[in-house]
Amino acid sequence: MNPPGRHIGLDYGPARIGVAISDPSGQIVTPATTIAGTGSGEQDVRAVLRYAAEERPVALVVGLPLNMDGTDSDQTRLTRGFIDTLAQSADCPVHAWDERLSTFEANALMDEAGVPRPDRKQFRDQFAALVILRSYLASLA
């Protein structure tokens, strides 16, 4: 069962951080925003925490970009560092969640939503965060 309260999903990248948020029941997840990444894990954590302070989530869920065989890539290691720094500073639990194929699913969702192809780059990370968060919340049901 989902703990009551909003959850925030994050698709972390050094250039862009996609953000999605659930409703308080954890049943509806929507794309929220894209935070400009700085390439500095600590600065990116501060930006995420500023956003989270406004929403007061019960948990943060960060997509973990594993290779298809489950091994770590350079981006996985970078994301693990971001997650560790975030967990040390956040006022709520931080969960890593396997995000394999989230970009493909995000593209499918943008097809369904009718997002025009020229606009997709600005929304792709938000939709990937939505996929990550929705998958995490479904695992709790």
Backbone angles phi, psi at 38, to 5 degrees: -110, -15
Question: What's the confidence (pLDDT) of residue 3?
Answer: 63
Nearest Cα to 21, choosing from 141, 139, 140, 136?
Answer: 136
CA distance 34 to 122: 8
Question: What's the confidence (pLDDT) of residue 2?
Answer: 54
Instruction: Tell me the pLDDT tens digit for each residue of 9-46.
Output: 999 999 999 999 999 988 999 999 999 999 888 899 99
Instruction: Tell me the pLDDT tens digit for each residue of 69-99.
Output: 888 888 899 999 999 999 999 999 999 999 8
Beta strands in the chain (DSSP E): 7-11, 16-22, 29-36, 59-64, 94-98
CATH architecture group of domain 7-140? 2-Layer Sandwich (3.30)
Residue 129's pLDDT band (boundaries 50, 70, 90)? very high
Query: CA 41: distance to chain centroid?
Result: 15
Question: What's the confidence (pLDDT) of residue 59?
Answer: 97
